[in-house]
Chain A
Amino acid sequence: MSFPWAEHYAPKHPFMRWMDEKLPLPRLVYNAVGAGYPVPRNLNYFWNFGVLAGAALGIQILTGIILAMHYAANAGVAFDSVEHIMRDVNSGWLLRYAHANGASFFFIVVYLHIFRGLFYGSYKAPREMVWLLGVVIFLLMMATAFMGYVLPWGQMSFWGAQVITGFFSAIPVVGEPIRVWLLGGFAPDNAALNRFFSLHYLLPFVIAAVIVLHIWALHIPGSNNPTGVEVKGPQDTVPFHPYYTAKDGFGLGVFLLCFSLLLFFAPNALGHPDNYIPANPLSTPAHIVPEWYFWPFYAILRAFTVNFLWVPAKLWGVVAMFAAIALLFFLPWIDRSPVRSANYRPMYKWFFWVLVADVILLGFIGKSPAEEPYVRIGQFAAAYYFAHFLIILPIISRIERPLALPNSITESVLHGEAEEAAPLGQQA
């Protein structure tokens, strides 16, 4: 693991030496996020988001465990128990708003983390496994967030659960029995709410475990960097601690500031008013919309409006929505360009930003009601999404002529190449 010039853990205090013999946990930490992990010296602020995602998970687990002490997962009282937290539990409003907005911030930093990986080619060899585990974490996060949103048992909780579990009924023949089996009833009710709570409590710890694997897999090749050129020697790296712990400390401060502004001054800005109405199976909301972080995928789901090739539209939509995420698993083998960083890929760089715009457009469509012109725009945007990953990427990785790469990270830092080396905001 790691580079030969990594600093070695040498405990000085007799207690630490004793500890190192019995249980070398400090050594593990030292090698993972301490001075024992050499990191490229040229990482920009986009490399902060991994640590921030970890912090977001920490906030979710901490607030979630305390919320669970006061929440009652029973369809009869769930809604009122949430209001009990908001009104009667000491600082309950803080816990609940932190947890609800914490989910949003978790997704914000993870989306930035993913797009950073896409821009700088962090998914490419030798880091395929890091990327694959990342996609697994993303899927687990989506499942966890969806089930968490059901727990307050408001109108959007209920109807969101109805729509999402309805996906399974798109499977031919066995779909409907599977849906009923998963829900424990014909519609979301107490059985569903209870199992969602159970899984919502379990999955974050599974996520934490996969994060351990994610970091483990990362430490074998070491971190990618803005040039995408591999580390060549000790001059290319700095020890994680204190260099990147300091930088991450600053990043964490900015993150917590943004989080606090939303949490304390606009805690319901990202939520839907309908979720303050208790769940009512007899009254369907005018527009059922998921939380914002699902909007792009919701838009892809709804874009498939016609039966095509004997496959019903609904099944197309469900398959496409899952495929939109599943295709990320194949990305390391779809994009065959040997150059990682988009800074040296003149064509890919443009298509990357078009993809960013396309995903934002899909998000806007997912939020909008299913009527014209939104549906047609959504169909175009969804088609482009698939075209980008499955058609455009294989083609450009073949025909593109990459720019000359710097010989090493140090060279890029010290001789011109200011664009890759400078932090965001100072780029030419």
Chain B
Amino acid sequence: MLRFFGPFIAPIVGLGFVLALTVAFFMPREAAQVTAQHEFHREPMELHLASDGPFGRFDRQQLQRGFQVYKEVCSACHSLSLVAFHDLEQIGFTKAEVKAIANQWATEQPSINPDTGEPATRKNLASDKFPSPYANETAARAANNNALPPDLSLITKSREGHAAYVHSLLIGYQDQPAELLKKFPDAKTPPSLHYNPYFANLNIAMPPPLAADGQVTYADGTNATRDQMAQDVAAFLTWTAEPKLENRHRAGIAVVLFLLVTTILAYLAYRNIWADKKH
């Protein structure tokens, strides 16, 4: 049986697959449809953060500014469910500051009334995760024209383009280009949506969150231009998505240096052992 396999059976089986694919290959098909997304979607603008590169460290001042933008702008609609208030100590807030931030947070933490067991809310503690601005998904959709504002904890890791995408999206709002409407008359942005070339399908439900320069007043005196605010919040969300980035970079450099030395020694040992053998 195996004797016949090579010369006979294998080529017959092979011909079957090749024929099926040849037929498929020559089957006429519709040309790829050119859509408005194809032509008008833009890659994010370049963004350089202190955390980039193998030696990158977070710029804590910037993270604190970014947190301020999240607190005063984003948190009205977006949750940050994987981050706890006391995590803010990692970006330079003191214990007392964190306690105050938690205590004064606009949305309270869901709880129960200890006497009646009825649903209730209580003030946030430093150990709490950031509360969601909405009680549940239905409430979130009801308040946002049926769109669901995504949780922001991992947003820079869950989008193509990462922090640069967040930065570009926030300041990328514009009027729909006349050229687009001329070419794709059906692609007009619906009234409840907003045109943004950095968003995958060009029309995003979120209204422009950073409307004007000076929307927040930075505690450190930095001029709060729209671009600055977008950069700062992108940096902050890079931290929320990867809080251990600095540990990773530090450990990485140590490990690579160690392995470099070890590998060189291993190479020398190898050459030494083989010195008498031609191979």
Contact = CB atoms under 8 A, between A and B. Distances in A.
Contact of A246 (B20, B262, B263, B269): B269
B136 interface: no
Find the residue from B2, B243, B263 having the highest chain A CB count within 10 A.
B263
B274 A273 contact: no
A383 B25 contact: yes
B266 A87 contact: no
Nearest to B272: A246
Interface string A397-414: 110000000000000011
A414 B278 contact: yes
Given A87-B243, A286-B200, A308 B277 contact: no
Contacts, number: 173
Interface string B144-181: 00000010011001111010000000000000000000
Q: Do most interface residues of chain B lie in helix, strand or loop, or is the interface mixed? A: helix
Contacts of A414: 278
A334 B10 contact: yes
B105 to A, nearest CB: 20
A265 B260 CA distance: 16
Contacts of A94: 248, 251
A283 to B, nearest CB: 10
Contacts of B193: none
Interface in A329-348: 330, 333-336
Contacts of B270: 246-247, 249-250
A394 B274 CA distance: 40
Nearest to A306: B24
Interface residues of A, number: 72
A276 B242 CA distance: 12
Contacts of B259: 253, 256-257, 260
B29 A389 contact: no
Contact of A304 (B24, B157, B241): B24
Nearest to B151: A278
Contacts of B182: none
A333 B6 contact: yes
Nearest to A384: B18
A394 B11 contact: yes
Interface stretch (A159-167, A200-208, A374-382): A374-382
B92 interface: no
Contact of B263 (A86, A253, A323): A253
A371 interface: yes
Contact of B14 (A97, A242, A335, A391): A391
A233 B27 CA distance: 59
Contacts of A383: 17-18, 21-22, 25
Contacts of B262: 253
B20 A304 contact: yes
A390 B14 CA distance: 5
B139 to A, nearest CB: 18
Contacts of B158: 273-277
B269 A308 contact: no
A388 to B, nearest CB: 9
A353 interface: no
Nearest to B253: A264
Interface in B202-260: 241, 243-244, 247-249, 251-253, 255-256, 259-260
Contacts of A249: 266, 269-270
A334 B200 contact: no
A30 interface: no
A268 B150 CA distance: 21
B273 A246 contact: yes
Contacts of B252: 260-261, 263-265
B13 interface: yes
Contacts of B10: 327, 330, 334, 389-391, 393-394
B278 A413 contact: yes
Nearest to A388: B14
A83 interface: yes
B185 to A, nearest CB: 23
A250 B273 contact: no
B263 A257 contact: yes
Interface string B1-23: 01001110011011111111111
Contacts of B269: 246, 249-250
A252 interface: yes
Contacts of B2: 333
B32 interface: yes
A390 B13 contact: yes
A305 interface: yes
A336 B17 CA distance: 22
B21 A382 contact: yes
A323 B248 CA distance: 42
B6 A257 contact: no
A338 B262 CA distance: 42
A58 B192 CA distance: 54
Given A83-B154, A330-B5, 6 more contacts: A238-B279, A257-B260, A261-B256, A379-B21, A386-B14, A390-B15
Interface of A: 41-43, 80, 83, 86-87, 93-94, 97, 238, 242-243, 246-247, 249-250, 252-254, 256-257, 260-261, 263-265, 267-268, 273-277, 286, 303-306, 308-309, 313, 316, 320, 323, 327, 330, 333-336, 371-372, 375-376, 379-380, 382-383, 386-387, 389-391, 393-395, 397-398, 413-414, 421
Interface of B: 2, 5-7, 10-11, 13-25, 27, 29, 31-32, 54, 82, 150, 153-154, 157-160, 162, 200, 241, 243-244, 247-249, 251-253, 255-256, 259-260, 262-263, 266-267, 269-270, 273-274, 277-279
7 contacts: A80-B82, A93-B244, A264-B251, A264-B253, A303-B21, A308-B20, A335-B6
